[in-house]
Structure 1
Amino acid sequence: MKLADLATLIRSKNAGPFFLTFDILFDDEEHYQLVKDSQCLNVQTFAALYACPAETVHFFACDNALAFKFSIPRPLPQGDLGDGDLHGGQQFTPLMSIDVPRPEHQTTPSDTHVE
């Protein structure tokens, strides 16, 4: 499964001129917990996706909001020459294709076959 299929909202935005912040929100606890239990969202994942040192990634899960948040330094300061996204609103797209492994005990309708 892809993260985009499970999350209700995946977004990015500026957190000041030097940082980007990302939010991954869910409508229900089942999907949130599935992603949390898979541990596919972590500092190393974000560091690899956004080519930044792991020690610069700030990541946390917010259980009461059914959300994950992380922040990273902007590759270029907001508005600097070469900055292609002044608002940071288009930086979320690599997150959409993160694979979320399905628990081995869980089946989908296509997994069951009746003869």
Structure 2
Amino acid sequence: MAKIRDICPHIRSKQAGPFWITIDLWFDGPQAFETYHASPALSPDLFARLFGTDPALVKRIPAPDLNVLKISYPRATSQGGMVERDMHSGQQYVRLLDVELD
């Protein structure tokens, strides 16, 4: 099985306001996008498990013209809180790199 790191040459996570995080997955061309963007491996349950979020609130926004899948989920704590470890959420994508897509 292919891992996200093998299918997506560029992955970015970022803050989407003080209460949300967005992860952008750039697939390596239209064929890879069509094959993997709807993979069950990228389910809301994955984000609940990896990021401690409510799976019912995970949003998936495909952008086929760009070969991008945008996934947004609520932050566990608001940005800038006492326990903040990644103020801009720029390191959150790392947990996804070894996820196997089917």
TM, length-normalised to structure 2: 0.87
Distance 2:86 2:38 in 1: 32
Gapped regions of structure 1 (runs ≥ 5) = 102-115
Aligned length in residues: 101
Quick one: higher RCO (CA 8 Å, sep 6+), 1 or 2? 2
Contact 1:42 1:59 in 2 (8 A): no
In structure 2, what is the equivalent of residue 10 of structure 1? 11
In structure 2, what is the equivalent of residue 55 of structure 1? 56
User: CA RMSD for the aligned pairs?
Assistant: 1.5
Higher strand residue share: 2
Contact 2:52 2:76 in 1 (8 A): no
TM, length-normalised to structure 1: 0.78
Which is higher, the Rg of structure 1 or of structure 2?
1
Secondary structure of 2:62's partner? strand
Q: How many Å apart are 1:73 and its aligned residue?
A: 1.1
Give the 4+ runs in structure 1 shifted more than 4 A. none
